[in-house]
Amino acid sequence: MKHPKNISIADYSYDLPEHRIAEFPLAERDASKLLVYQNEHIREDIYKNLSATIPEGSLLVFNNTKVVEARLLFQKPTGGVIEIFCLEPHEQYPDITTAMSTTGKVWWQCLVGGASKWKKGQVLEKKIIQGNDTIILQASYIEKRTGSFIIELSWTPDTLSFAEMLHLSGAIPLPPYIKRTAVAADAERYQTVYAQHDGSVAAPTAGLHFTKDVFASLAAKNISTDFVTLHVGAGTFKPVKSETLQDHEMHAEYIDVSLSLIKKVMQHSGTSIVAVGTTSLRTLESLYWIGCKAAEGTFSPAELLVKQWDPYESACKQVTMKEALQHLIIYMETHKMERLIGKTQILITPGYVFKVISGLITNFHQPQSTLLLLVAALVGEKWKSIYEHALNHDFRFLSYGDGCLLWK
């Protein structure tokens, strides 16, 4: 496998006019356009007709993470506003679910807008009136880190979980390229219809186009659906600022996968496994590399992390997908684990050999982004003609835009 450290990010650029970025979603989720790329041919359809494009007996895997209201605004007594954007829990928590269910007080890794005006030791406070109840939320500056801050957030009544407190006092964080203030409708539309587990600061946007009708049509054609959880971090929008990938650090994200899903994926070996979204794809491919570690026999819970260069530097390349997942299943059953909870930093670029998926449903991504590199890994140089077709045929781009079904 070619090592991607020397890939030049400038080779993965294209001109994206601002007016092609979707500022709002369409009125109907499944009316969005769908570009289908298969056997080097491009055709157009809409999401409502997706089942006609997927072979019978396939497995579609979705990410059921839920976007949390991660933007918190505090007004200082002097009138200035401090914005706290909650990224991910402090490392003292074993996983996001535990941190989200914590009551009374949490430590969180955050971005802080106006940080220079916030003196260490100064406690910020805001009051939220909910009917007859008043919630008091306080923020204390604990520590400055490279690119972020550790903030202590505490609240009363302290019986509320952190997830509940965010829901009552925070705002949905729209992506930075949507240049407008969030409106009430975003609370529903920047969330998939199957969102279940609180923890993301960005939506798994490929899933925004799915409706109950689309799921019903998939089931009617004997197409299986199942779910993984990858909590999307703000790093998904992090641009590649270095000239080559060698100096780009991929963000790590929490994954949570059930034993039953791993068994189902293994059973679908040899059939079409389609990831709905780059987050689902990264989770599925990460399962292979975790399974490889289990196959090597030196596996431990501390190994539940896929580092960004693991696929390119691991000696474990001859193990089949079925073998890797079988080892993972044996490990989980031996240790009575119903769920696999870990982190992935996997970087999928041209040169990557896909082990699990055969297709991807995804939106159109930003130039010079790791998401565009992932697309190029799947379809090769054809990504250029796919994106050129989309630009020339009025497809809408990025989170609220249209999407594509790309076959390997």
pLDDT in tens, 296-349: 876 776 668 899 999 999 877 688 999 999 999 999 999 999 999 999 999 999
Range of 40's domain? Answer: 4-66+191-407
Is position 23 within any domain?
A: yes
Which residue in the block uniquely carries the two structure tokens 């679910």?
97
316 and 205 co-located in one domain: yes
For position 303, what pLDDT does the model report?
A: 67
Residues 6+ apart with CB under 8 A from 194: 62, 64, 207, 210, 227
Considering the domain architecture, whether residues 14 and 142 belong to the same structural domain is answered as no
CB atoms inside a 10 Å sphere around CB 298: 8
Report whether 65 contacts 253 (CB < 8 A): no
Task: Tell me if 341 sits within 8 A of 290, measured CB to CB.
Answer: no
Contact 51, 220 (CB under 8 A): yes
Return mean pLDDT, the chain. Answer: 93
Looking at per-residue confidence, does 238 or 119 come out higher?
Answer: 119
Residue 301 has a pLDDT of 67
Backbone angles phi, psi at 309, to 5 degrees: -100, 0
d(CA 282, CA 379) in angstroms, rounded, equals 16
Is the distance from CB of 253 to CB of 231 less than 8 angstroms? yes
Q: Are residues 221 and 292 in the same domain?
A: yes
For residue 28, give the DSSP letter: S
**Could you tell me if residue 32 is inside a domain?**
yes
The structural domain count of the chain equals 2
* 64-89 pLDDT tens trace: 999 999 999 998 888 888 999 999 99
265 lies in some domain: yes
Does residue 51 lie within any of the structural domains?
A: yes
260 plus 363 within the same structural domain? yes
- Is residue 218 within 8 A of residue 276, CB to CB? The reply is no
- Give the end of a domain, one of 137, 171, 205: 171
Q: Model confidence over 1-30: pLDDT tens digits?
A: 557 899 999 999 999 999 999 999 999 999
Report the pLDDT value the prediction gives residue 49, as an integer from 0 to 100.
Answer: 98
Residue 237 lies in a domain: yes
Strand partners, 374: none
- Domain co-membership, 200 together with 330: yes
Residue 84 covered by a domain:
yes
DSSP string for 80-128: -EEEEEEEEE-TTSSSHHHHHT-BSEEEEEEEEETGGG--TTPPEEEEE
Q: What is the three-class DSSP state of 25?
A: coil
Q: Show Cβ contacts of residue 274 under 8 Å, excluding neighbours closer than 6 positions.
A: 54, 58, 59, 60, 61, 357, 358, 359, 360, 361, 405
Distance CA 371, CA 351 (A): 15
Do both 53 and 75 map to the same domain? no
pLDDT at res. 2: 58
Residue 383 domain-assigned (yes or no):
yes
Give the per-residue pLDDT at 255: 93
**pLDDT of 105 strictly over 70:** yes
| Residue 125: count of CB within 10 angstroms of its CB | 13
Q: Are residues 260 and 195 in the same domain?
A: yes
Last residue of a domain, one of 171, 206, 226: 171
Asked if residue 355 and residue 245 are part of one domain, the reply reads yes
Write the CATH number for 12.
3.40.1780.10
- HEC string of 42-89 equals EEEEEHHHHHHCCCCCCEEEEECEEECCCEEEEECCCCCEEEEEEEEE
Mean pLDDT along residues 373-383 = 97
Specify if 177 maps to a domain.
no
- Stretch 266-292: mean pLDDT: 96
Residue 182: half-sphere exposure toward Cβ, Cα within 13 Å = 16
> How much is the pLDDT for 304?
83
If asked whether residues 314 and 278 sit together in one domain, one would say yes
Contacting residues for 183 by C-beta, under 8 A, at least 6 apart: none
Q: What is the pLDDT of residue 21?
A: 97
Please give the pLDDT value at position 147.
Answer: 81
- Max CA pair span of the chain: 64
Q: What percent of the chain has pLDDT over 90?
A: 75
For residues 201 and 227, state if they share a domain. Answer: yes
Q: Do 84 and 227 have their domain in common?
A: no
Q: How far apart are CA 370 and CA 297, in angstroms?
A: 32
pTM of the model: 0.93
- Regarding whether 161 and 26 lie in a shared domain, the answer is no
Last residue in a domain, options 171, 206, 222: 171
